[in-house]
Chain A
């Protein structure tokens, strides 16, 4: 990774770190989401979801990691201030299948068409090279409600031409699965430590939306196991990921993540 510290925000707050830029990029996936459950997997998305609710997505619902829905803004690792609801697993499936949720999952592999794998690595399901978590809720999530992904280490190991197992359904597999699969299928974004991507390229393929400050297109291309689709306008330069505002930095540093766990996931 090149430059560790991004340029300063407008104003005189200390320069935002790469992790903080990732937090804001993750938060952005929930902008204007309305009253839906945000289900972030991973530390940076978790901080991002709390930041989004504290700023530009006040309608979001957030869980405590167990069965409770939390109100207010609270710090990672600290007890929540108050509960606003009870959502045991049984109710989670009601909500997933009803579509009022936007999940951000952390794939082990993800491909050009947005297929994601959290199940196993290898070529034979009956005897995997590496057993991972299992598909968990990924098949159901991806065909029922908006899905984004977070990848703290953008690498050719993770961004592959074709995933070993489709756990989260991509654009091509959703289309092949028929209207039942594609009706509510809605892939939004991939945020990595290098940039922000979506699958709005030709035939639903992955393209670059923005690069984090200090990241070059070459660096991303080298760390990606397939050719990235051109942004909608090849003539236009790919923009930089937006910087956190002063207020966002304050919330992240003082309120939501005072212990700095974000740096564990994204090294500066």
Chain B
């Protein structure tokens, strides 16, 4: 690169090759919003297994559960937003197929923040009095050394790797979001040993921050890989580039309810590479289904 910085561009397959079974993976986005779906799809096609997944969950979690990739899930919810619950997540939970650590959404935030700041825990009020304390038997409280309340000591949620999807990035890993909410993508990236960022568009560095400097929330200091992935968040939303594909999301949910239809859905959309996926989505759209 002319500016002497490393070119971190790589493919989804190259990212997966850097991951290992048994790792703790953090996945950015929120519900069915700006999820790094092309990276998730690449994991589905891989041999990776036995993963611990930390997420404000959406179809990323559902798909990984359906593929048997998840050993343990750390979450506050798993939702498709316009559809309250992901069907694969529900099925996996009801079958007792995954270990679950359910936390208040704010506890998840605090756990990531603790990991990002390299402290063992951060204190907070959320969780006290609730059964979150019972279903997470390792969770401890901490007495204020200043005479105040006893609070929850939310442990750091250290990640081996983080996967996030942003609107634009340069080849070095500086990235910006252009939608209404960063969610907790910056914390996922900072809480992780290694971070991989997919994006709608890789642009020259000088084109970042032209809308407003506050959009530039991911620094190359934390990023190990940049994956050019146009439409990579599909079928979740990636505002302002595109909204959630509600038609596709409904098709996903309907297929999930029936083994035969799920096999057909998998054959058409998941047993293919990312280019094949995008072609199948385009074909579906061309045959009359609209967003």
User: What is A's interface to B at a CB cutoff of 8 Å?
Assistant: 66-68, 86, 88-90, 93, 96-97, 119-120, 125-140, 142-144, 165-169, 173-174, 176-185
Check A169 against B129 for contact (C-beta < 8 Å). yes
Contact of B183 among A89, A130, A133, A176 (CB under 8 A): A89
* Shortest CB distance A186–B (Å): 13
Q: B126–A127 contact, CB under 8 A? A: no
Interface pick from B84-92, B195-203, B254-262, B263-271: B84-92
Whether B77 contacts A140 by the Cβ 8 Å rule is no
> Restricting to B104-121, which residues have a CB under 8 Å from any CB of A?
104-107, 109
Complex Cα distance, B84 from A130, in Å, reads: 14
Rounded to whole Å, the gap between the CB of B9 and the closest CB of chain A is 28
What are the nearest 3 A-B pairs in CB distance? A140-B126, A177-B129, A127-B96
* Cβ contacts under 8 Å, B103 to chain A: 135
A138 and B181 within 8 A (CB): no
Q: A120 contacts which chain B residues (CB < 8 A)?
A: 93
Give bound CA distance, A165 to B135, whole Å: 9
- Give the chain A neighbours of B94 by CB distance below 8 A: 127-131
B106 touches A88 (CB 8 A): no
Q: Are A125 and B106 touching (Cβ within 8 A)?
A: no
A135 touches B102 (CB 8 A): yes
Q: Which of A93, A97, A136, A166 is in CB contact (< 8 Å) with B129? A: A166
Are A90 and B182 in contact, CB atoms less than 8 angstroms apart?
Answer: yes
Q: Does B250 contact A (CB under 8 A)?
A: no
Nearest chain A CB to B240's CB is how many angstroms away? 12
Closest to A176 in B: B129
Q: Does B100 contact A (CB under 8 A)?
A: yes
Query: In whole angstroms, how far apart are the Cα atoms of A238 and B255 in the complex?
Result: 50
- A140–B152 alpha-carbon span in the complex (Å): 11
Excluding A136-B104, A140-B106, 8 further A-B contacts by CB distance (< 8 Å) are A89-B30, A89-B183, A90-B109, A119-B131, A137-B104, A169-B130, A180-B150, A183-B149
Of B75, B89, B132, B182, most A-chain CB atoms within 10 Å: B132
> Using Cβ atoms and an 8 Å threshold, which residues of chain A touch B10?
none
- B99: chain A residues within 8 A (beta carbon): 126
- Out of B76, B125, B183, which one reaches A144, CB within 8 Å? B125
Q: Does B184 contact A (CB under 8 A)?
A: yes
B183 near A167: Cβ-Cβ < 8 Å = no
Residues of B within 8 A of A135 (CB): 76-77, 102-104, 130, 132
Closest chain A CB from B81 CB (angstroms)? 9
B129 touches A185 (CB 8 A): yes
Q: Tell me whether B70 is interfacial, beta carbon within 8 Å.
A: no
Interface pair A143/B128, CB less than 8 Å apart: yes
Q: Known contacts being A126-B100, A138-B104, is A169 close to B128, with CB within 8 Å?
A: yes
The reply to whether B135 and A88 form a contact with Cβ atoms under 8 Å apart is no
A-chain residues with CB within 8 Å of residue B173 when the two chains form the complex:
none
**Least distance between B74 CB and chain A CB atoms (Å):** 11
Shortest CB-to-CB span from A140 to chain B, Å, is: 3
CB pair A67 B128 closer than 8 Å: no
Residues of chain B within 8 A (CB-CB) of A184 are 125
Q: Does B127 contact A (CB under 8 A)?
A: yes
Minimal beta-carbon separation of B215 from chain A (angstroms)? 12
The verdict on B151 contacting chain A, using a C-beta distance below 8 Å, is yes
Q: Which of chain B's residues have a CB closer than 8 A to the CB of A125?
A: 100, 102, 131, 135
**Bound state CA distance, A184 and B148, in angstroms?**
14
